[in-house]
Structure 1
């Protein structure tokens, strides 16, 4: 890469201050709005069943290009795009009635004795969780390439030291999402009574199976950046550290914290404790100035201090995600109906979103004599950043859960036959594209990073106009969607 162009690239993503949280919320609301329109078309018109070419194109336009347009062409008018998505959904709702699924006649259900591996041990199926994870993956993949073009506003790119931006939120949301799905294995072990019998070494070995691919990707990225003279933003994570290392080190560190989880049987409290202790260290010692303004020394810690110390904040985010995941995936007693379970999950998500929002306001604002007035910093991953990410993701999950609950109400059974109905309802209520992005998350994320590097090495992204940029971005979105669909068709699961 030409040295002068490399300097321009680095300057293009440096010293930015971000934008407002209200605008970020308006932009990210496009994902639930797109899913709302998709769900209305499916629940009222069965538009995506069977899944033909028209259904595929519409699915792609709503759930992939909708997010791309929100962050580019409609970045200055996200509310208009939301209105354009929600309005036709409301018109369909007003002019149609819910379709009743035809059910085959079934023999009377005879209760059977319950054993350790019977129905109570099966985890509930939540289409909205697939939708949430996939939407997060799509916006992440789009942003990592779009940020290199002028069509992607600078206020959406990562803030330098202080501030809030779309990409700052995306990084934290990626970690929070990983925490949510990590709860599945934990809940399953707790229900089966095997959690307490697993030694730390056994849990660490299991977690490393998830970490090793990410750590390898981190090493590959490090080698590529250094040897291809790829533009890099050193103050983001440091000289050698990158986001793959953060993702890779989280699972084993969380397993170490499981010992504390036995003493503090609430991941919400554990997450808050990590965030508070880290924030106290930032405010009461020289740690904050060391990370932000200290000269970069020759030792590895000094060279990578952003990545090393922000890891504590990301650990708190991961634990907060696991707390949410436990609440979502735990199933109630055998007498609890599916409707009651969904209501419980919806209420829990709403309460967590409100609680995190209130704590975030107290940390980052000052009004009526209350509040710490601490600015958000993704570079530090400080406490306001942790609370902002937790509040946003719980709110997003709440919206996706609300859409599913209203438009695809659960059945009334929790028996084995009820599980079959639940699986059928899940297939009917889940976008094929979103399901594919969720199942192939690791492979899609890898391909997205490789394509981003290839585009930046072959195209002068700073010198192309908006029309050319959109052509490239649409082609890129089409390719990664095709890869996700292809992996799903081949029944290959490589989720993050």
Structure 2
């Protein structure tokens, strides 16, 4: 039997995995909100990140990038040890330190020639959304390279057909968070007359073109460089950039149905449910998993049909965004607990998390539908798992903000609210969120460069960590550098 080539070894390295448990994905991912919690406590108690010095940037990087890297590599077998290490200083600071006063803030004088604007935005920038999207981008950038090293457990890599894993959740979360922020434009449209369908489609295709171009470039470069690829992820020609690119136009088309069923939650569940019925009651499921690759459709069947599931995830993200993005209205005195749950941002997020989690366990339990999660199919349980996971993670980050920065949205002027918002936001996570797709593209290019120059399968723990730390530091440096120079790259 001839010896395998290195490319064949690389393809085998990411093939045939069965994943890990939902509980393990949750425990490893908990490092993200706990890092945000520690950052927030350091800011609230010590004002450590004002002014934002080089030392402050280094601590920011350690908390929000290095901790995520460690969670998926050297602490992968003992995630609760890392979670405890992140939680310990939080408890110490909350007990030993009082909240810092605003006197330590760097003074920001108002412009004399321009009166302060007192009307506040109906859709304020919310640090907890920025933090979560930034943290998910960090996790994604870490995982796409770390998966090529032995230090990254195989159970965290994408599963072949059925099961749950960290990287499976990462793909879905990327789409979900894109849906969350897309709700901002839907909310703006809702406040006035909605543009006609033709105009919405043209606008959405403009947003899609750069992603489709990136998908085409990735396809050409992978084939041209003979780069190792996992065909059963999306197919022969399809890749994740195509999935992202087609989401906005199809979401715009579904606005026609939204006029009849004015709930993104219901719309997403109906779409995912109909897709699951097709998978279970027709030959579609077998076609996606086992059909020979003979024509364009069969060669790209995973990417084409799983798009339905990702579109449902995108709509579920939009549904959460409609609750999370608007300014919370003041509650009346003596409001009941149920009223607070329904009318506060945190309460609505908590209810949403419980709903999606209940749906997920019903879909997978023996006494429910008894279905298995499949990222390859993007089936109903996968859609519900992604919606549940992201909802409760965002709820945790929102709770952190609500407790540690309770006066964030009580500023008297717009300029003061902007200042408070930036003071309550990690610069590293803000930078990752600000130029997310551009940073993700650079991370993909660096991943390809590393894989073409280093035999990642054959190097030890210390060398692997050195490469991964240098890689994520480079990506972080780029993101922060763009932000410091006030550069926004819209893709």
TM-score for the superposition, normalised by structure 1: 0.92
Q: Which residue of 1 aligns with 2:92?
A: 91
Deviations 1:420-446 (A, max 9, x none): 332121111101111111111121001
1:469-480 matches, cutoff 5 A: 469-480=464-475
1:479–1:120 Cα change, 3 Å: closer
The count of corresponding residues between Structure 1 and Structure 2 is 475
1:6-405 matches, cutoff 5 A: 6-102=7-103, 119=119, 122-191=122-191, 193-195=192-194, 198-297=195-294, 299-331=295-327, 344-366=344-366, 370-405=367-402
Q: Which residue of 2 aligns with 1:481?
A: 476
In the alignment, is the contact (CA less than 8 A) between 1:30 and 1:82 conserved in 2? yes
Deviations 1:6-55 (A, max 9, x none): 10000000000000111110110001111111111100010111111211
In the alignment, is the contact (CA less than 8 A) between 1:411 and 1:421 conserved in 2? no
Deviations 1:235-281 (A, max 9, x none): 11000000000000000000000011110010000000000000000
Q: Which residue of 1 aligns with 2:418?
A: 423
Query: In structure 1, what is the Cα distance between the partners aligned to 2:332 and 2:430?
Result: 28
Gaps of 5+ in 1: 107-116
TM-score for the superposition, normalised by structure 2: 0.93
Query: In structure 1, what is the Cα distance between the partners aligned to 2:387 and 2:420?
Result: 29
Q: Which residue of 2 aligns with 1:111?
A: none
Q: Which residue of 2 aligns with 1:492?
A: 487
Query: In structure 1, what is the Cα distance between the partners aligned to 2:329 and 2:158?
Result: 45
Query: In structure 2, what is the Cα distance between the partners aligned to 1:230 and 1:207?
Result: 31
The Cα of 1:373 is off from its aligned counterpart by 1.1
Gaps of 5+ in 2: 110-116, 334-339
1:292–1:349 Cα change, 3 Å: same
In the alignment, is the contact (CA less than 8 A) between 1:411 and 1:418 conserved in 2? no
Query: In structure 2, what is the Cα distance between the partners aligned to 1:333 and 1:469?
Result: 50
Query: In structure 2, what is the Cα distance between the partners aligned to 1:316 and 1:291?
Result: 18
The Cα of 1:418 is off from its aligned counterpart by 4.1
Query: In structure 2, what is the Cα distance between the partners aligned to 1:411 and 1:487?
Result: 26
1:406-485 matches, cutoff 5 A: 406-411=403-408, 413=410, 417-485=412-480
Give 3-state SS (helix, strand or coil) of 2:125's partner: coil
Query: In structure 1, what is the Cα distance between the partners aligned to 2:222 and 2:137?
Result: 23
The Cα of 1:410 is off from its aligned counterpart by 2.5
Q: Tell me the C-alpha RMSD between the 2 structures.
A: 2.3
Query: In structure 1, what is the Cα distance between the partners aligned to 2:118 and 2:95?
Result: 42
Query: In structure 1, what is the Cα distance between the partners aligned to 2:383 and 2:190?
Result: 27
Which range moved further: 403-412 or 370-379? 403-412
Query: In structure 1, what is the Cα distance between the partners aligned to 2:401 and 2:329?
Result: 22
